[in-house]
Amino acid sequence: MKSVNIGICGLGTVGRGTINVLKRNSQKIKDRLGCEILLNHIGSRTTPNDFDLKGVSFNQDVFAIADNPKIDILVELIGGTSVAKDLVLKAIENGKHVVTANKALIAEHGNQIFQAAEKKGVTVAFEAAVAGGIPIVKALREGLVANNIEWVVGIINGTSNFILTEMRDKNRTFPDVLKEAKNLGYAEADPTFDVEGVDAAHKLAILASLAFGHTFQFDKIFTEGITKIEPQDVAYAEQLGYCIKHLGIARKVETEVELRVHPVLIPKESLIANVDGVMNAVLVKGDAVGPTMYYGPGAGAEPTASAVISDICDIARTIESKPEQRIAPFGYKYDNLKDVTILPICEVRTASYMRVTALDVPGVLVKITKALSEENISIEAIIQKEPAAEKNHVQLILLTNNTIEKYIDAAINKIEALDVTKGDIVKIRVESLN
């Protein structure tokens, strides 16, 4: 096999990590592949003064790599969805394979990109786009190929997981932990994508397409962040035997698919409830294998570089083969990916945690349970707490049975309209992960 020439676009955290790992483990990679991976060209807005560029071309214009006839694989690590999209499509047009860590690019423009790649007979690989160093893409695409996947559930944003872990373990507020997350480099200066669930939704769109063989449906994912989670809800969840996690959930429901990202109460004894800090984990339920879990670092220079280089090596192994002999990016040829109906969040069936602030007078619970019973909702558990700040009000914590969400919302509207309740009701969905 000939040596494989790669060009890296972007010298941020992942770009630098990829170069470092390639250099450090070059001989091991060569022994495994039977060929050498050669860094031939780098594209970056800033000159890498701390790298030895001997024998490596450098351009501030990343499109020079897409046009370089020597390059076999373009590695896109610049981020964003505008320049990156044009760059990837240009590389495909020029017959180059592509490796990317860009989850937003794949989730939002994957349909166009993979269709173009299939027509051109090249591969677009994206292991690093989901869960950093965890090889979840390969697991879904290849390791679980014999299975009908029933559901995928993941902690796929380390920033949100770190914040919720600190809130639980140290009784800290969301703003307090977010400030620390920024100082530690876990959160960006503008953390919106992380704490509002957009980053997790990008990743869930990719996982769902891999699991169920459908086209990307990012714009139909229900997305809710963690900014409204309060320490008291974390504490009440603990008392009830639950842990609050921010999850991405993709589940088959007959002919439809649930796609949702939001905070969830899950039983403390479940494996994924014990994934803490900035770590990621993905649970997959297949009809043949049952539940399997994949755990590891979801970000960072070298964990993500591990996934990037894995993709480079996969392409190198098959670079001389015919396109039809290669494993399709999703385990399906693009034309075999299906359009599916996404179940609206109002039709999703879950249990619910509700925190109600009510007057401390006789008959309150009767009125609340009446509103629930009118929507055929039963209560599984209840806790009554009296906040020190308001002696005439009590906190009622309710766990409901599994119910279609629109009925829960209808009951909440009725309860909030009662003359014995105060303010908005806090609702968090509950999942048993059975």
Percentage of residues in the chain with pLDDT exceeding 70? 98
pTM of the entire structure? 0.94
The three-state secondary structure class of 363 is coil
Mean pLDDT of 160-189: 94
pLDDT of 128 > 80? The answer is yes
Percentage of residues in the chain with pLDDT exceeding 90? 83
Query: Could you read off the pLDDT of 188-235 as tens digits, one per residue?
Result: 889 999 999 999 999 999 999 999 999 899 999 999 999 999 999 999
Query: Could you read off the pLDDT of 279-316 as tens digits, one per residue?
Result: 999 999 999 999 999 999 998 899 999 999 999 999 99
Query: Could you read off the pLDDT of 79-117 as tens digits, one per residue?
Result: 999 999 999 999 999 999 999 999 999 999 999 999 999
> Which domains are assigned to the chain?
4-132+301-336 (3.40.50.720), 136-297 (3.30.360.10), 347-430 (3.30.70.260)
Query: Residue 275 in contact with residue 140, Cβ under 8 Å?
Result: no
DSSP letters spanning 145-195: TTS-EEEEEEE--HHHHHHHHHHHHH---HHHHHHHHHHTTSS-SS-HHHH
Confidence of residue 327 (pLDDT cuts 50, 70, 90): confident
**One-letter amino acid identity for 27?**
Q
Q: Look up residue 82 and give its DSSP letter.
A: S
pLDDT of 246 > 60? The answer is yes
The pLDDT value recorded for residue 285 is 97
The pLDDT value recorded for residue 308 is 97
Residue 87 sits at the vertex; the CA angle it makes with 85 and 88, to the nearest 5 degrees, is 65
Q: Which residues are catalytic?
A: 203
The three-state secondary structure class of 284 is strand
Nearest one of 118, 135, 428, 216 to 126, comparing CA atoms: 135
pLDDT of 48 > 80? The answer is no
Mean pLDDT of 163-189: 94
Residue 211 sits at the vertex; the CA angle it makes with 279 and 21, to the nearest 5 degrees, is 45
What average pLDDT does the chain have? 93
Residue 91 half-sphere exposure toward CB, CA atoms < 13 A: 32
CA distance 43 to 122: 21
CA distance 98 to 126: 9
The pLDDT value recorded for residue 390 is 59
